[in-house]
A and B are shown apart, each in its own frame.
Chain A
């Protein structure tokens, strides 16, 4: 009797597995809604646009990219878990944003509410000045900031964002004080930088490659120089131990079945292996990374710890 029961159980499990395997083979069967929690033109948008043709090529289905800007991403993230959880709704997600934002204030979601399925690229922080800036090197910049504490004005996007964090970390590591001006989006910061409203700006490798010869990169927070910008030294080369940037990935509503989450992650991982895609990402300053569901927990634990430490530099007191 018991044998029979276990046999039935085994059969059920087996048939369930085959059903889910069948489903796995079929994903995606319809258009995927790809929500960008920011406006158009930023890093999240450009990366998504680079992925877009590959969703069609590798998955056989198009994606519909939508913009839900507001509150530095928080407006969209706060709504993510109430969206349809069938694997056809996914949303861009950013580190450190999703860790730092909920730390200080109630922004409608907590870091743990986010179901991140894949971190697919990374953009290292870069300190930029205009091509004709008096700061030729990082040393010039640091010297100016030491001479007039608070007098060097740097721009970046948003409050408690990756840019402000980078500013706070360099200030601490180099023992300087600078004034940070938050702008609304990458376009606005770049305007302020090129228009010399700010003396320098915190951006990413992407910004330097987008603006080209109009700007000079003083230093980049990578372990080794970026292959597309060999003239820009790393902070480490210059004696400052600073490596960091923004990770971008995709999250799904938390009710999305684990098997479906795997399928979503599988598709993104597949796109990440396309050589032409990787090349194009690199040309635009993105570095492709692969943090899938298997590594997700360890990675998030590590990041949470790192950012909790860094938040102190920003003066954020955890609630």
Chain B
């Protein structure tokens, strides 16, 4: 194992303490809707300036991985992704919590996140330089197809009418186009409002689209907001472990998907977890159970999004290209520390790199006890809190969270309006997830398409650019396979149509 002597360095009491504090802070920040991993890292960077570079990196890596995991809490308990990476966690996590398996869901999320985090870190340790080339093999065209691949998930996600889901996806795509266009600089659909120039912010939109309808349903009736399992006081750790063992292939596959997607700059945890989810669903024996509280769905999303942490560090450290937005903040912090990233980092300054990678392992392992404890506390307090207190508390968090994204009051308003819109849509039978997918993937798809078209035209043929590159062809094959699956299952068994409100 390379740089093993630095493991001891990473195990020093100071590093351990920093890793512990970082993971805890990250989990708490990530669990708050509106506070993303990027923000967690950005806020805490100044505190690391006094530390030596290796330890500072451990602190930032711990915060980052903790925040990505923390997003699962609110996704499972409130149907509101704490960070964009946990969007897909709501699909099965929330139904599990609704039916009384919230404690199990939190334990599963913790186990999957730790495993995914370890896989990502292992790839970072062992294969970083060769894997960095993956980041470079994806051009605009590949990003376009990757986004389209993500969009096809709409078809398999659709509860109820497929057409309604597709219309929702189109609405999301149109929402993603609001603001100044990336290419050409057209000002689109802003209605002359300055507030919309920068486009719809994904984080505040997520809070609105997911959380506000839940809130409105919460106050509609006096029924208890969450059913209790029979064993409230247990972690259900044994049950969780058995489930993980049963789903070991799913977890491993999802962790690898997460690592690879994490390596791609411009993709990130939200896309990784969506792809892992759709793959888990595709190979599942009973895909129709996905979306109704299937543990496999949760395991796929949580293991993949934490694997993006290690994956994202690969291009960041090897190439100096940040794999994800939090990596960009960390890269800036490194430059201030005087650490020059790049291929030479693994040679000349290997002490820092290996101390950091082992620190990331330790932080990820620490996530297990910390996560289980915090998760249990969160679950118990959420179940125990009277509904009359829960609703205004969640309402306050949505306001605070959507304000803190960019410190803008207009994004709070945008959150509330999108929330009302999502509620009306839901009452007409349109679910929020297709809209969210369109919103997230729209700008990636459009950017990739336009850049690919320009490059292809300059080379002589746009068609060859889109359909002639090997990786593109590979993704197209996956898209076709993914699209044919639901058609076939539809043939062979009518899906039960179900509409559930929050």
Contact = CB atoms under 8 A, between A and B. Distances in A.
A142 interface: no
- SS class, residues of chain A in contact with chain B: mixed
A213 B321 contact: no
Contacts of A75: 179-180, 194, 197-199
A214 B197 contact: no
A65 B458 contact: no
Contacts of B139: 192, 195, 197
Contacts of B459: 151, 153
Contacts of A106: 187, 192
B420 interface: no
Given A68-B406, A75-B197, A153-B455, A195 B180 contact: no
A105 B187 CA distance: 8
A79 B455 contact: no
Contacts of B49: 52-53
A53 B337 CA distance: 11
Interface in A42-60: 42, 45-46, 49-50, 52-53
B328 A39 contact: yes
Contacts of B455: 153, 179, 181, 197-198
B458 A150 contact: yes
B336 interface: yes
Interface in B124-180: 135-140, 179-180
A67 B42 contact: yes
B388 interface: no
Contact size range, A: 35 or more
Q: Of A39, A41, A106, which is in contact with the most chain B CB atoms at under 10 Å from its CB? A: A41
A283 B199 CA distance: 35
Nearest to A182: B183
Interface in A102-127: 104-108
Q: Of A151, A190, A280, A283, which is in contact with the most chain B CB atoms at under 10 Å from its CB? A: A190
A196 to B, nearest CB: 8
B486 interface: no
Interface string A185-200: 0011011101111100
A79 B408 contact: yes
A162 interface: no
A212 B349 CA distance: 15
Interface string B254-270: 00000000000110000
A195 B182 contact: no
Contacts of A198: 455
Nearest to B43: A64
A147 to B, nearest CB: 14
B331 interface: yes
A182 B182 contact: yes
Given A75-B179, A79-B408, A159-B183, A187 B454 contact: no
A280 B338 contact: yes
Contacts of A40: 38, 42, 322, 325, 328-329, 332
A187 B332 CA distance: 12
Contacts of A150: 458
B46 interface: yes
A145 to B, nearest CB: 11
A14 interface: no
Interface in A36-94: 39-42, 45-46, 49-50, 52-53, 62, 64-72, 74-76, 78-79
A194 B49 CA distance: 30
A275 B216 CA distance: 58
A27 B459 CA distance: 57
Q: Of A68, A150, A195, A198, which is in contact with the most chain B CB atoms at under 10 Å from its CB? A: A195
A30 interface: no
Interface stretch (B339-347, B359-367, B369-377, B427-435): B339-347
A195 B137 contact: yes
A192 B328 CA distance: 17
Given A41-B322, A41-B329, A160-B185, A188 B265 contact: yes
Contacts of B343: 212-214
B228 interface: no
A40 to B, nearest CB: 4
Contact of B197 (A41, A104, A108): A108
Given A66-B406, A107-B197, A182-B182, A191 B136 contact: yes
B407 interface: yes
Contact of B187 (A64, A76, A107, A211): A107
Interface of A: 33, 39-42, 45-46, 49-50, 52-53, 62, 64-72, 74-76, 78-79, 104-108, 150-153, 158-160, 179, 181-184, 187-188, 190-192, 194-198, 210-214, 280, 283-284
25 contacts: A39-B325, A39-B328, A40-B332, A45-B332, A46-B332, A62-B46, A75-B179, A75-B194, A78-B194, A79-B194, A106-B192, A151-B459, A153-B458, A153-B459, A158-B182, A159-B182, A179-B458, A183-B451, A187-B265, A191-B136, A191-B138, A194-B321, A195-B137, A197-B455, A214-B343
Given A46-B336, A108-B194, A210-B320, 4 more contacts: A76-B198, A105-B186, A152-B458, A212-B320
